[in-house]
Structure 1
């Protein structure tokens, strides 16, 4: 076939990358031409391939060490705005899909999606479309309906949401600082903002808040 869809896989688990490659190998028009195990490597390889010149789609995991998928997505949108990015995650749509789409992703797909859906999503975003599942569409509609009130996790900024996710996963302020490369006092500032916006008085109440607003956003 003359023109294949050139894909970069960004996921920190080798077994996941191998599984994705096996799935995509069933599509004769799709070729995995690069893979990366962390956010910095994704950005470096996209730059080496000169963005849209050497790639058609980036499949990007959200939960990666160092710079997470959302940060990498923002960097890709800024440096290579024409390059479609399809976000992959084990998180439910209502937890992350809306945030990904708002940050410029071309679609959001759960890793549990079957092979046909995965291939269809890659083809659609490579062609310039946006891939939205029924669950994502529902989450988007809910977000639009709540836009005026800005309640729930959607009220948090991107960095606040990162801190929120890690706090409700049981990480300490110092651990969060190390992972996000922030000073502990800066993390404490973000934590205070998260508590204020969610109405939680402490980390225990914050964990309960996370449970009420969907599955706890752990890793």
Structure 2
């Protein structure tokens, strides 16, 4: 008996630049486990696409005419909580970065990301392992410092065990569960258990919130 193929990750690409959408589509369509089911050039069209196409992941640009990416992200996360949103951004993050997190985005992807980074990010978000890359997290710290606030420092809540603290710090460096498992010589299922406990103990809204806590960019138990 031939085994049935695993369900593919359904993706919608939202960006007002046609070439950006085309480039991302070419990379994603070349994979065996990801399928681009739709595109949109603004937030309003994205909302319609999510309702009709029921994707697993939305790649969301921020600055678009009409309904921007922040508003679209907030609406998607409110009305379709099972749909993950991965925000597309340039390297020079601005005030939209924290706004996107508040709106419920699962993480950020740089527009100049390599093809393998794009694929990995989509897979991670679809699996509930959204995170911030080290480059993006460093830039966010720089923005906080430039705003006149004291530079944040890594946080290790006393409620965490030593192993949970190690996992949290690894999450804060942008590692996925599989990468954490390899680094700490644990099984991936054990890492998932630790991550679940970390989110409960902090408490953190989601994995991205926990990453921000690890970098001192948010406080345990508080919104971003």
Q: Between Structure 1 and Structure 2, which shows a larger proportion of helix residues?
A: 1
Q: Aligned-pair distance for 1:128?
A: 0.9
Within 5 Å, which residues of 2 pair with 1:123-138? 123-138=123-138
Q: Over aligned residue pairs, what C-alpha RMSD do you find? A: 2.6
Structure 1 CA distance for aligned equivalents of residues 100 and 23 of structure 2:
23
Structure 1 CA distance for aligned equivalents of residues 146 and 79 of structure 2:
31
1:111 aligned partner: 111
Structure 1 CA distance for aligned equivalents of residues 143 and 22 of structure 2:
34
Deviation by residue 1:111-169 (Cα, 9 ceiling, x = unmatched):
1011111110000000012131112222455678899969xxxxxxxxxxxxxxxxxxx
Using the size of structure 1 for normalisation, the TM-score is: 0.60
Structure 1 CA distance for aligned equivalents of residues 145 and 129 of structure 2:
24
Q: Is the 8 A contact 1:97 1:139 kept in 2?
A: no
Structure 2 CA distance for aligned equivalents of residues 97 and 135 of structure 1:
13
Structure 2 CA distance for aligned equivalents of residues 32 and 102 of structure 1:
26
Q: Which runs of 5+ in 1 are unaligned?
A: 151-219
How many residue pairs end up in the alignment? 147
Q: 1:135 to 1:99 in 2, by over 3 A?
A: farther
Q: Aligned-pair distance for 1:82?
A: 2.2
2:200 aligned partner: none
Q: Does 1:48 align with 2:52?
A: yes
Which of the numbers 8, 12, 24 marks the counterpart of 2:12? Answer: 8
Aligned to 2:132, the other structure's residue is in SS state coil
Q: Is the 8 A contact 2:93 2:140 kept in 1?
A: no
